[in-house]
Chain A
Amino acid sequence: MIRTLLTSLLIVFAGMTQAETLRMAVTTSFNNSGLSDVLLPVIKEDTGLDVQLLIVGTGQALRLGEAGDVDAILVHSKASEEAFVAGGFGTHRREIMYNDFVLIGPDSDPAEIAKAKTAADALTLIATGQHSFVSRGDDSGTHKKELALWATAALDPAGFEAWYNPVGAGMGASLNTASGLGAYIMADRASWLNFGNKGTLALLFSGDPVLFNQYAYIPINPERHPHVNAAGATSLETWLVSDKARELINGYTVAGEALFTFNAGPK
């Protein structure tokens, strides 16, 4: 009896001994794009860091950082990031790379957004025709970007009728919903290209500079949370802005398309 108990306790605690690890909260698009699978093994080789990814929305990533449950975050929502650093939760914000958002919809394109000149025009066409639209609705970076675009088009989603569907889910789950409804949706290019359940959906609009999506790296402030792996966070940052990272990020393609553009600058 006692032996069984001890063995079960051993099993419980066996999972706790690990090499030097660094926990980083990242957005779904970073992982869904497949880029993390390329970068992490090389990071481990070069820096010895075992980077553990928590794949969440930007909203949750910031909360995890505020609570000190991760050592660094890699997200894409500039205004919230700056507030995060100003609040003393992170030491600084370092831009790493960008990708872009695209507008997806049924390939018949009833709203004719493919002919639109700007992203705001495209959204106005969808709203005027009341074509069904799926919104992330989960306070993620993508969701915040979408809300900002509606604002540029001088439209307020709060007043929209049943054609506007905030699903409160991650990028993939929202794309599944859009695929099922044959609805329009805004997604990041990486998640879209890697998405396996496209159905009748097609990429209809992209290229407007307002759709660029900047990723930034923020180490958690060790003064606020003394237990964080600050040394590890620094060496990861050094790696992320290195020439090797530039090569891997710029060279990463899915279906022949480059997804991310490295643009790390000085602090």
Chain B
Amino acid sequence: MTDIWQGLVSAFWLVVTLDADLVEITLRSLQVSLSALVIASLVALPFGTWLAIRRFRFRRTTIAILNAFMGLPPVVVGLLVYLLLSRSGPFGVLGLLFTPTAMIIAQVIIITPLIASITHQAMRELWAEYHDLLISMNIPSRARIWTLIVDGRRALLTAALAGFGRAIGEVGAIMIVGGNIDHATRVLTTAIALETGKGDFALALGLGFVLIGLAVSVNLIIHALSGTERGSRW
């Protein structure tokens, strides 16, 4: 119990004094996870919507695989990305290993199926509602996807935030491909793992509270910017 209290105290002091290292790794956490979120969303939102409205031969299999990939083990993704980006691997010449870019690549792979799957679930319901209208108006396929994305933006926001949540709290993959290098690839989660390893539970927990606070702030900001849950709006 005292450890938890000390964690709260150390989180408080880290934030109040704007500890330089804390600011650096927090910004890097945001940089990596938000970049991964933007890239994954650009792929997953249209793909999930497309899956909801198109009928094709292996649709059921594709959806089942997508749902299964929501639970991709980050450590395995990290190891695969490591082997691909390693100097001895196929993309070694790019020299991307142990850079934030490598961490973004791993996180994109982890969260894309999650965002696409939630998008698909939500869009399926919406499509059932819009189906007759859009078909009868003879709207082309691309415009159908766009209409659904615009009208289903609330559900898509949830999908994206779920992806962000998984990315910002992830440690297994980025530890392997980023290497937790001080001042280069250290982020909040890998710093927490490091401090736990040193037995400094108070600092580890302090960083943990900062991470949770960060996740809450990002969600609040996104909700505020998109004007949801305000007044009489639905």
Which A residues fall within an 8 A CB radius of B?
4-5, 8, 11-16, 18, 21, 23, 28, 32, 52-55, 66-69, 170-173, 175-176, 179, 194-198, 225, 227
With both beta carbons as reference points, the residue of chain B lying nearest to A36 in the complex is identified as: B182
Question: Is A194's CB under 8 angstroms from B198's CB?
Answer: yes
Are the C-beta atoms of B35 and A8 separated by less than 8 Å?
yes
Which A residues lie within 8 Å of B196 (CB)? 172-173, 176
Cβ proximity bits B200-230 to A, threshold 8 Å, 1 near / 0 not: 1110000000000000000000000000000
Q: Specify which of B35, B42, B88, B184 is in contact with A12 (CB 8 Å cutoff).
A: B35
Select which of A11, A23, A28, A68 is within 8 A of B31 by beta carbon.
Answer: A11
Chain B positions within 8 Å of A15 at CB level: 28, 31, 99-101, 184
**Chain B residues closer than 8 Å to A198, beta-carbon distance:** 199
Q: A53-B181, A67-B88 are in contact. Are A173 and B197 (CB under 8 A)?
A: yes
Shortest C-beta distance, B40 to chain A (Å), equals 11
Q: Which of A14, A54, A197, A227 contacts B199 (CB 8 A)?
A: A197
Interface residues on B, range: 20 to 34
Write 18 A-B pairs (CB below 8 A) sorted by A numbering: A8-B39, A11-B31, A12-B101, A15-B31, A18-B184, A21-B184, A52-B98, A53-B181, A54-B181, A67-B87, A68-B92, A69-B88, A194-B198, A196-B198, A196-B200, A196-B202, A225-B87, A227-B87
Q: Are B35 and A196 in contact (CB under 8 A)?
A: no
Chain B, Cβ-Cβ closest to A171: B197
How far does the Cβ of B194 sit from chain A's closest Cβ, in whole Å?
8
Our pick among B31, B184, B199 for the contact of A52 (Cβ within 8 Å) is B184
> Which residues does chain B contribute within 8 Å of A13, judged by CB atoms?
101
**A176 — nearest CB in chain B belongs to which residue?**
B199
Contact B104 A69 (CB under 8 A): no
